[in-house]
Structure 1
Amino acid sequence: MGRPNSVLILGGSGQAGAGAAAVLRRWHPELPLTIAGRDLDRAQRVADELGEATAATVDLRRGDLGLPTDGKYLAVVAALWDDRLRGLRYAQERGLPYLSISSGLVDIAPEIVASAQRPGGSPVLVASHFCAGIVVLATLYAAREFERIDTIRIGAVLDESDAGGPAGLADLERWATATSAGLIRRDGVFTWVAEPDARTAVPSTDGILVPGRSIAILDVPSLALATGAPNVRFDFAVGESARRRRGGPASLEVRIDVEGTGPGGQPRSLHRYLVHPQGQRPLTALGIALGVERLLGLRGEAVPPGIHTPEALLDVSYTAERLTETGAKLIDAPGNQ
């Protein structure tokens, strides 16, 4: 059984779920957590390491998730792909906040419809962005002094040895199966781009170009609509990161290019990298933890029912502070102004 009024983390023994639980434990030592997974022994090991946490088995084929009928929770976090939306329904039926990270742009329609059908129900945070919204928030923070933004281009290099556990790999395969086209915003119009226009090369921090492609990802509409930028593109490459080429462990590198005008209408451009020496896992865990903290009202005002995205709920300056704590850095790229 979960602890009374605990945060229920579905997939809590996986990389994203366990990482987020560890972050929440550091920030809020007394916040009860329930680590739910298919393998009880694995979930119990994670719970034991955390303290103030319990383990539970979960069955996503059942409406009650296979949990005890007297279980009481503060929120439901889907740190895994829930193809039947059992976790969302479970949260809605109990009026609980809900956060998901695995739907992606191609799979969010059922979540949107389910939430629209119950407008007075749960607050739903759709965080199926890259690193659970952290790249969007870091970009908004880096570009906060622009007066007008005309173009945003993101280029992420994910080390091939850092693609995540089985759940993360399954997500990548599912998204690739759904569409090979990328979604961009061009001259204010959201546009699908197919071969060969989708193909590109993403510059790593050491200048090496890693073959990649434009992808369909929530970061594109989030950045476009948050900034008004008429041109937005997100390119993604899987290969060897610069740190691993130097003989170290895998790192994450995300290039952020922004063009527009600064104060007074003067042309301005920004070229930076968001890097983390431990790869994508710490940033994904941070994105989930920030979302949970906000949904629970542990920081900021209470979140009303309805659909929400990370940039609509989370403060970019606070996010930047937390990013620094994880060991992430925003560094200048060549040509930064």
Structure 2
Amino acid sequence: MEHSKSVLILGGSGQAGASTAALLRRWHPELPLTIAGRDLGRAQRVADELGAADAVTIDLRRGDLGLPGGRSHSAVVATVWDSRLNGLRYAQDHGLPYLSISSGLMDLTPEVIAGAQRTTAAPILLASHCLAGLVVLAALDAAREFAHVETVHMAAVLDEQDAGGPAAIEDMERLMAVSMAGLVRRDGVFTWIGGAEAEAVEVACADGVVLPGQRVAIPDVPSVALATGAPNVHFDLAAGESTSRRRGGPPSIEFRIDIEGTSPAGTPLTTTRHLTHPEGQRPLTALGITLGIEHLLGLHGPLPTPGLHTPESLIDPTYATTRMTEIGTLPITP
């Protein structure tokens, strides 16, 4: 991969995009970056702070993204919703790796079809999972001690003051407007649930406070279910006051993974991973995106083949959890 060409970050001046760019700059100081946004002044300020970066305006309604002619890039990263798939088409037309994070489970169908129609164009990383795939990777890392996984229960608490920037809020409102149904795997069958079964859910915080939540339709469910073979998988999400903010601190995020199954010796085995980041979802989402970019560009591991990928198909779970610790993710102990 030619790393003299820049990574084009769509929405690069937003919270997820700017934080991703900062992390990439820290880990890969020589990697050129292009901060693309609707407001050139805002994008330029982010680029100036990074160094080895430039800024452009984009128009996601246009097939050429409104980019100046003669530009070349090494990858396209959509940290905002690529609603018309023009970012994806641009990447395919130019043979560039592509990563997206803002598609709901139902929105993934057009991306999958676009990728299936042009399987040799370039690798496409579908990372519209919680924290761009980090919960899935943490679950798979925890599942490595099992010979057989029967149940995986995932849950996350997002502080209501940590919903992200305007684009993230729009994404959340859009996804909730499409469906309040949840997706679970039950006895090996992927099942849509609604009503009280999806909405009358409680999620416990680290300090024991219980928040109302919802059993959500999210790519984490099929990713974990198919990667582990677990016949029973669900993901619960709650938004409210986080443990950190109740203690007078900033909004934090926490997520919990409970796994049941059998050990290599054939005995019953259970494990729990309960993790938090004191700065909320932003640094973890940025990390998930950054890990994806690293792998798409061959900066960590071999270059991926063209076609469709998910975070767990590219990124080693142990490497991901190590990086999570490095950026300040902390375990929550009972």
The residue aligned with 1:244 is 245
Query: Which residue number corresponds to residue 306 of structure 1?
Result: 307
Matches of 1:62 and 1:179 in 2, distance apart? 28
* 1:164 aligned counterpart, secondary structure: coil
1:265-293 deviations in whole A, cap 9, x for unaligned? 11111122121000000000000000001
Q: CA separation in 1, counterparts of 2:225 and 2:115?
A: 23
Q: For residue 54 of structure 1, what is the aligned residue in structure 2?
A: 54
Partner of 2:67: 67
Deviation sequence 1:199-235 (CA, Å, 0-9, x none): 2100100111110010000000000000000000000
Structure 2 unaligned residues grouped into runs of 5+: none
Counterpart in the other structure of 1:205:
206
The C-alpha deviation readout for 1:295-323, integer Å capped at 9, x for no partner, is 00111111111010000000111111110
Deviation at 1:329, TM superposition (A): 2.0
SS in 2 for 1:106: coil
SS of the residue aligned with 2:132?
A: helix
| Pairing 1:183–2:192 present | no
SS of residue in 2 equivalent to 1:264 = coil
In 1: Cα distance, 2:266 partner to 2:207 partner: 33
Give, in angstroms, the shift of residue 194 of structure 1.
Answer: 0.4
Paired position in structure 1 for 2:33:
33
Task: Answer yes or no: is the 8 Å Cα contact 2:153–2:258 preserved in 1.
Answer: yes
> Superposition pairs for residues 1-337 of structure 1, below 5 Å?
5-198=5-198, 199-332=200-333, 334=334
Is contact 1:24-1:289 (8 Å) kept?
A: yes
In structure 2, give the amino acid aligned to 1:318.
Y
Deviates more, 1:177-186 or 1:265-274: 265-274
Deviation, structure 1 residue 95: 0.4
| Alpha-carbon shift at residue 143 of structure 1 (Å) | 2.2
Task: For 1:79, give the aligned amino acid.
Answer: T
Alignment partners' CA distance in 2, 1:72 and 1:53? 14
8 Å contact kept, 1:79–1:101: yes
Partner Cα distance (2:279, 2:210) in 1: 21
Q: Distance in 2 between matches of 1:274 and 1:232?
A: 19
SS in 1 for 2:265: helix
Point out where structure 1 has 5 or more consecutive residues left out of the alignment.
Answer: none
CA distance, structure 2, for counterparts of residue 100 and residue 74 of structure 1: 15
Contact in 1 for aligned 2:37/2:57 (Cα 8 Å): yes
Alpha-carbon RMSD: 1.0
* Structure 2 residue matching 1:66: 3-state secondary structure: coil
Deviation (angstroms), 1:4 = 5.7
> Is the Cα contact below 8 Å between 1:4 and 1:71 reproduced in 2?
no
Which amino acid counterpart does residue 27 of structure 2 have in structure 1?
W
Q: Once structures 1 and 2 are overlaid, which stretch shifts more, 143-152 or 128-137?
A: 143-152
Shift of 1:331: 3.3
Per-residue displacement from partner, 1:75-95 (whole Å, max 9, x unpaired)? 000000111111000000000
Q: Distance in 2 between matches of 1:154 and 1:210?
A: 15
Residue by residue over 1:93-122, the C-alpha shift from the partner in whole angstroms, topping out at 9 and shown as x without a partner, is: 000000000012120111011111111111
Kept in 2, the 8 Å contact 1:5–1:72? The answer is yes
CA distance in 1, matches of 2:205, 2:332: 12
- For residues 133-155 of structure 1, the C-alpha deviation after alignment (integer angstroms, 9 at most, x for no partner) is 01100111122211111000111
| Cα separation, 1, equivalents of 2:31 and 2:287 | 16
Q: How many residues align?
A: 331
Find the aligned partners of 2:321 and 2:21 in 1 and give their Cα distance.
20
State the identity as a percent. Answer: 64
- How far apart, CA to CA, are the structure 1 residues paired with 2:299 and 2:269? 37
Q: Which moved more, 1:20-29 or 1:263-272?
A: 263-272
Per-residue CA shift, 1:146-197, capped at 9, x if unaligned?
A: 1111000111100000010011111111111111100000000000110110
Structure 2: distance between partners of 1:270 and 1:209: 21
Shift of residue 263 of structure 1? 2.2
Relative to the length of structure 2, the TM-score reads 0.98
Runs of 4+ in 1 over 4 A off after TM superposition: none
Contact 1:75 1:91 in 2 (8 A): yes
* SS of corresponding position for 2:135: helix
Structure 2: distance between partners of 1:208 and 1:271: 18
Task: Give the Cα–Cα distance (whole angstroms) in 2 for the partners of residues 127 and 206 of structure 1.
Answer: 30
